[in-house]
């Protein structure tokens, strides 16, 4: 980004995002407890997307960067599908031990939340079941 002609908002935005990230990282429950992914940091994503603006033409002009970008977007969409339709299958947050008691599990690549939810299969659509089975008044 520094090589590209960055708009004037780039520096202050990086500073604000960094301060927000550090504030979240210093919190005791920085990962957000029982949830899919680090939910407190999702607020930063729309702002991070703005950093694509100055480099978008460079990404799209180079086939290798374009392929890497498309692959990254595909993986990100798959992760969102896992979070929307598979989580909390696999009970990653609670087994073998509660993630709030041992947050080091968040860094375990051999047993991570995404793959365990994916391997456990789709979650039961309990919200839909509750809505469909509402008692009639």
Domain ranges of the chain: 1-52, 62-137
Q: Summarize the chain as % helix, strand, coil (round to 5).
A: 60, 0, 40
Cβ neighbours of residue 116 under 8 Å, at least 6 residues apart? 90, 92
Q: Please tell me the pTM assigned to this model.
A: 0.74
| Percent over 90 (pLDDT), the chain | 29
- Condensed to tens digits (0 to 9), the pLDDT of residues 52-102 reads 888 899 999 999 999 999 999 999 999 999 999 998 888 888 888 888 888
How distant, in Å, are the alpha carbons of 14, 16, 35, 58, 70 from that of 1? 11, 17, 32, 10, 19
Q: How far apart are CA 100 and CA 113, in angstroms?
A: 14
Q: How far apart are CA 11 and CA 91, in angstroms?
A: 41
Closest CA to 113 of 83, 85, 69: 83
């Amino acid at each position: 980004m520094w090589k590209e002609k960055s708009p004037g908002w780039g520096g202050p935005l990086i500073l604000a995002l960094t301060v927000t990230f550090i504030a979240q990282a210093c919190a005791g429950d920085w990962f957000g407890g029982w949830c899919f992914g680090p939910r407190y940091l999702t607020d930063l994503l729309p702002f991070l997307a703005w950093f694509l603006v100055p480099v978008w033409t460079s990404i799209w002009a180079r086939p290798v960067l374009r392929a890497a970008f498309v692959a990254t977007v595909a993986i990100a969409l798959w992760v969102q599908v896992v979070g929307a339709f598979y989580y909390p299958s696999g009970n990653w947050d609670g087994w073998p031990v509660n993630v709030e008691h041992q947050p080091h599990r968040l860094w375990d690549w051999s047993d991570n939340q995404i793959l365990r939810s994916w391997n456990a299969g789709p979650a039961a659509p309990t919200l839909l079941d509750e809505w469909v089975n509402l008692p009639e008044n």
